[in-house]
Structure 1
Amino acid sequence: MSNTNKPIDLAHSLSLFNDLWSPKRVATLNDYDIKIAKVSDSFVWHSHKDTDELFLVLSGTLTIQFHPGDGGNVVLGPNQLFIVPKGVEHCPRTENGEEVSILLVEPKGVVNTGEVTDAKLTNAVKDI
């Protein structure tokens, strides 16, 4: 995690890892983790029953899929953000294998797959 006396360079932090769907903590703000991740293809359908989830796209295009009746899919490009309300099942994905870089803001301890346990995708957050 970044030294408190220096700004956090997100591009540099993203260059330090290649694993997908494995958020890395770059900072903590009160009781919230500021995380970055690289994502590609489709994640798992999941929800977070106790918290909203903020997605900010840094590069590429991210689609957040929702079930019919939950408002339709949201497509985000660079410098766009969206907040998924708590309890709403969603599935982030990219198109055609594109690698997308995102920033997430979540309370400390939130698991990336929410209530779903998926051995390939569930990751404890690590500092970068």
Structure 2
Amino acid sequence: MDARTMAKPHYKRSVRVADLIRVEVADILARKVKDPRVEFVTVTDIELSADLRMARIYVTSLKDQQVEPQVHAGLKRASRYIRAELGRRVALRYTPELIFCWDHSRQRVNRLERLFDQLEHRTPCDRPDRSLENRD
């Protein structure tokens, strides 16, 4: 087998481009954007359209939940700059339009963990008696 064939990963191009965009946007946010509203913002995921012209960027903040509107406003204001900087860093025919979305998955995980903790700490009296249901 040819060495070039063996070294080449078999991922879709859109997945590789999305991963590259995630890394670059995270770096731009950390090093280039000076808006204090977007401090401590983490890029959690990227959804890239099939034609690579639109990127939905999911973000979260290490600060509390109440900063979401301020973070969104800061990202909206900086989005043109971020897109231009991304275009300089990534060699694509078209630099994708960037749409920033808040990633609520961490909040859902925290809610589920609290529910599991509540179930775990229930006393036997709190649990329904399933043995009575099976009697005929």
TM-score range with shorter-chain normalisation?
under 0.3
Greater Cα radius of gyration, structure 1 or 2: 2
Structure with the higher fraction of residues in helix conformation:
2
TM-score, structure 2 length as denominator? 0.24
- Larger % of strand: which? 1
TM-score, normalised via structure 1 length = 0.25
Larger relative contact order (Cα-Cα within 8 Å, sequence gap ≥ 6): 1
